[in-house]
Amino acid sequence: MFKVNENYLKLPGSYLFSNIGKKVRAFTEANPDKKIIRLGIGDVTLPLAPAVIDALHKATDEMAVQETFKGYSPDLGYEFLRSAIAKNDYKARGVTIALDEIFISDGAKSDSGNIGDIFDVNNKIAVCDPVYPVYVDTNVMAGRCGEYDPVTERWSNVIYMPCTKENNFAPKLPEETPDIIYLCFPNNPTGSAITKAELQKWVDYALEKGAVIIYDAAYEAYISEEDVPHTIYECEGAKRCAIELRSFSKNAGFTGTRLGFTVIPKELKSGDVMLNSLWARRHGTKFNGAPYIIQRAGEAVYSEEGKKQTKEQIAYYMNNAKVIREGLAGAGYSVSGGVNAPYIWLKTPDEMNSWQFFDYLLQEANVVGTPGSGFGPSGEGYFRLTAFGSYESTLEAIERIKRLG
């Protein structure tokens, strides 16, 4: 009889967002007159930029005509998009990335989940704590994480790198040596960023230990400070130890349109084996390409109009971030993030734990956020608010929180 992949059975239920949903539904049923403001979910709300919509229309029309119709995309993605990426995301930052080092995908969630395919099952992973849950969960599915301890909420074979107020939400180099290090900057959920000098230490460490860094730069477009690197390849030697993941979701509102890419430099090797070749093999075998019309839409993000329009969207969200950060700080909360990222991370007041604060905000201010404990044990005692709402509702939410005193 067939057997299932038992690693899946080890995964604790995806409790965070379903529990939030349940609590909000119960509250709304009991209080139908209350207007709830949701600053919990990390999804964009502004419509796609006009330059992107124009490109979608144009590409759709091409699909209607025999001469310009497109079937399967090339394995790595269309060259027009990879060229735009190499030029705008890398060359413009002084980094040379070859076109065959860029792999177009349907987003960073798939890439961050799938990248484990090219690594040995016995590799040991290190993750920031708190962290985007996909890194750990997908490694559990692959059988790389050992056993789960529900008391400590940790996996036995994972190196956790706490990111708390005490270390300014920047992980320390781990004492135990990992094989695969997941870093995400600007960070979800803490909203923290890393300076180039700090990131260089990670690159040096990975090179010294023979580890690979999986660098998730999904929030790159939100960087506002000068000394924060936009790509890990700004660091010396990074091409020999790092894979970079990028997404169009948060820089251009493609969460429902789906587009991303992964960069694997050819210098990155395990012995004589190029990871680029392994990923090319994996990509060509298991993925049949992002749709042509979406790749054209992605190309439009790099047009002059597209750049201007998406920059305006980001400025809109970051203005919300400022409203949240400054409003809460003014009300006496200990807040971080919101400067290089659309996430604001706050310390829960009065010794409340993350879920107690969730209930308190829901009941008293009718505002929904995300309990920090849902992102990992070191997120306990913290809370995440996002800047993706409308300006008006963000302002109103903060006014309500301030009124709580």
Residues near ligand PLP (CB under 6 A) are: 42, 107-109, 112, 132, 184, 188, 216, 218, 247, 249, 255, 260
Nearest distance from C-beta of residue 104 to ligand PLP, angstroms: 12
**230/402 with CB nearer ligand PLP:** 230
Q: Which residue is nearest to ligand PLP (CB)?
A: 107
**224/255 with CB nearer ligand PLP:** 255
What does the DSSP 8-state code read for residue 12? P
Q: Which long-range contacts (CB under 8 A, 24 or more apart) does 388-391 make?
A: 388/39, 388/41, 388/42, 388/43, 388/44, 388/45, 388/317, 388/320, 388/342, 389/37, 389/38, 389/39, 389/45, 389/320, 390/45, 391/316, 391/319, 391/320, 391/323
Tokens representing 247?
């997404």
Nearest distance from C-beta of residue 402 to ligand PLP, angstroms: 28
> What is residue 109's three-state secondary structure?
helix
Rounded to whole angstroms, how far apart are CA atoms 271 and 251?
36
Rounded to whole angstroms, how far apart are CA atoms 252 and 270?
35
**119/254 with CB nearer ligand PLP:** 254
**252/401 with CB nearer ligand PLP:** 252
**313/366 with CB nearer ligand PLP:** 313
Q: Which long-range contacts (CB under 8 A, 24 or more apart) does 59-67 make?
A: 59/292, 59/293, 59/296, 59/297, 60/293, 62/292, 63/292, 63/293
Nearest distance from C-beta of residue 286 to ligand PLP, angstroms: 16
Nearest distance from C-beta of residue 325 to ligand PLP, angstroms: 19
Give me the residue label for tokens 């107690």. 356
**123/255 with CB nearer ligand PLP:** 255
**250/366 with CB nearer ligand PLP:** 250
- Report residue 268 CA to chain centroid gap: 23
Nearest distance from C-beta of residue 246 to ligand PLP, angstroms: 8
Tokens representing 269?
């090797």
CA dihedral 99, 182, 46, 37 (to 10 degrees): 180
Q: Could you check whether the bond before residue 32 is cis, i.e. omega within 30 degrees of 0?
A: no
Give 278: exposed, middle or buried? Use CB within 10 Å, 0-12, 13-18, 19+. middle
**95/184 with CB nearer ligand PLP:** 184
Rounded to whole angstroms, how far apart are CA atoms 24 and 28?
6
Nearest distance from C-beta of residue 250 to ligand PLP, angstroms: 7
- CB of 401 within 8 A of CB of 45? no
Nearest distance from C-beta of residue 77 to ligand PLP, angstroms: 14
- Report residue 189 CA to chain centroid gap: 9
Tokens representing 43?
């999804």
Tokens representing 333?
């909360």
**77/327 with CB nearer ligand PLP:** 77
Nearest distance from C-beta of residue 247 to ligand PLP, angstroms: 3
Nearest distance from C-beta of residue 189 to ligand PLP, angstroms: 8
**139/366 with CB nearer ligand PLP:** 139
Nearest distance from C-beta of residue 384 to ligand PLP, angstroms: 11
